[in-house]
Amino acid sequence: MKELLDRRLLWVGGKGGVGKTSVAASLALLAGKRGRNVLVVSTDPAHSLGDVFDHSLGDEPRRLAPGLDAMEIDPDAEVEAHLKRVTSQMRRFTVPRMMDEMERQMRLSRQSPGTQEAALLERIARLVAEEGDAYDLIVFDTAPTGHTLRLLSLPEAMAAWTDGLLSHSRKSEELNKVLKHLTPKGGQDVASPFADPANEGESDLDDRARSIAETLKDRRRLFMQARRAVEDADISNFLFVMTPERLPILETVRSVEALKEAGIPVAATLVNRVIPSSADGAFLSRRRDQEAQYLARIDRELAGYPRPRLPLLETDVQGLEVLEDMAGHLEQAGF
Ligand SMILES: Nc1ncnc2c1ncn2[C@@H]1O[C@H](COP(=O)(O)OP(=O)(O)OP(=O)(O)O)[C@@H](O)[C@H]1O
Ligand SMILES: [Mg+2]
């Protein structure tokens, strides 16, 4: 599995609380030590990457160690930035008397379901396709499974949406041509909600439609580029973290299947918090018996994937020292 840290993108996912953030942080640290220039990014709106590093993080990369930067995407800030971009573009195309209505729409969309995810996805796509070019490796600390799966399948949804709009605008272009033939004085742009035919000439309308279509195409290109990178096992891999317990195992088996169906390569399933053999006492020995059954089950049900193990540490994972310890264990486990 050493090669995982040699690729460009690594997604660390899994059920809530299994150790995604700790593992993402230690792997990033390990790759940085090996001389790669690494960015570790938290995409979970409930951030804890900064806590794990014992360092406050923000929406732009901050240097934590040689070769290691970290950031936490702020979904609210992304929504604001996104709406600002949209508003300023619309402003160019909207007649003054419609500005109030447009601003009302923008206020509504700030609260509508999916807006945060769309904004988050846009930032991730930009990191993957553009902004992250300065790094050799980007490690994504993701939110619990459901959220991440939805996020990774959003590009298709957004592409479909863009395509719909584009074909709609093409249709309205054709419709316009027909109308122009029928009405000798020149047609009105029937399908454009931004048009005010009383004030605008025909060529302005064409420019507007073209410019909106260009923006949509750029977005589509960005999402598809990111999507292609995520599907390419030579560029990007998904690492599933779980603990040797019933629910995390069930969820991992399900999610690995879902990712496979979505065309996203899963490189390995990491079993975290395995009771170390050095741990003593009757209580732990009983726990270890139960754990052995779960470990056997993992070997059976996830036989098709590498299943490295990471021991339960004596303390919580916080601060560089513990992260280095964890990175050492990850190295021993084959990373
Ligand atoms: N190998 C380990 N040994 C001891 N404690 C661990 C280990 N791995 C993780 N932990 C601890 O388990 C808790 C959960 O870890 P972490 O926050 O990394 O999980 P997560 O999957 O990112 O959680 P969330 O789903 O909430 O984002 C933390 O308190 C962390 O310190
Ligand atoms: Mg986390």
What are the tens digits of pLDDT across the range 57-106? Answer: 999 999 999 899 999 999 888 888 877 877 777 777 667 777 787 778 77
How far apart are the CA of 43 and the centre of ligand 2, in A?
A: 9
Ligand 1, atom 23, lies closest to the CA of: 17
Give the number of the ligand closest to the Cα of residue 316.
1
Secondary structure class of 143 (helix, strand, coil): coil
**Which of 314, 302, 275 shows the shortest CA–CA distance to 14?**
302
Q: How confident is the model at residue 234 (pLDDT cuts 50, 70, 90)?
A: very high
Ligand 1 atom closest to the CA of 24, numbered from 1: 18
Which residue, chain included where needed, has tokens 């020149």?
186
Q: How far apart are CA 174 and CA 162, in angstroms?
A: 18
| Helices 246-261 and 282-301, axial angle in degrees (round to 10) | 20
Distance 49 CA to ligand 1 centre (A): 11
Q: Is the pLDDT of residue 232 over 80?
A: yes
Band (pLDDT 50/70/90 cuts) for residue 208 is low
State residue 195's pLDDT score: 45
Ligand 2: centre distance to CA 42 (Å): 8
Cα(13) to ligand 2 centroid in Å equals 9
Question: Are 111 and 13 contacting, i.e. CB atoms less than 8 angstroms apart?
Answer: no
Query: What confidence score (pLDDT) does residue 310 get?
Result: 98
Return the closest-CA partner of residue 195 out of 96, 93, 101: 93
Neighbouring residues of 274: CB distance < 8 A, sequence distance ≥ 6? 244, 291, 295, 309, 310, 311, 312
CA-proximal residue: ligand 1, atom 26 (nearest)? 17
Residue that wins the pLDDT comparison between 15 and 220: 15
Task: Identify residue 310 by its one-letter amino acid code.
Answer: L
Name which residue leads in pLDDT, 189 or 264: 264
Give the atom of ligand 1 at the shortest distance from the alpha carbon of 22.
Answer: 18
Give the full edge-to-edge strand order of the sheet including 62-65. 62-65, 68-72, 38-42, 137-141, 9-14, 236-242, 266-274, 309-311
48: CA distance to ligand 1 center in Å? 10
Mean pLDDT within 160-164: 62
Q: Residue ranges of the domains in the chain?
A: 86-114+169-215
Which residue has a Cα nearest atom 19 of ligand 1? 19
Cβ neighbours of residue 36 under 8 Å, at least 6 residues apart? Answer: 5, 6, 67, 136, 137
Greater model confidence, 158 or 322: 322
Query: What's the whole-number mean pLDDT along residues 275-297?
Result: 92
The mean predicted confidence, pLDDT, of the chain is 84
Distance 323 CA to ligand 2 centre (A): 14
Q: Parallel, antiparallel, or unpaired for β 236-242 and 9-14? A: parallel
Pocket of ligand 1 (CB under 6 A): 14, 16-22, 44, 48, 144, 272-273, 310, 312-313, 316-317
Q: Cα dihedral sign for 309, 315, 318, 324?
A: negative
Q: Which atom of ligand 1 is nearest to the CA of 312?
A: 3
State which of 271, 287, 316, 329 you would mutate to test the pocket of ligand 1, scoring each by most atoms of that ligand within 8 A of its C-beta: 316
The SS3 of residue 184 is: coil
Element (H or E) spanning 43, and its range? none
Compute, in angstroms, the gap from residue 143 CA to the centroid of ligand 2.
Answer: 6
Residue 293 to residue 144: CA distance in whole angstroms: 25
Does pLDDT of 191 surpass 50?
Answer: no
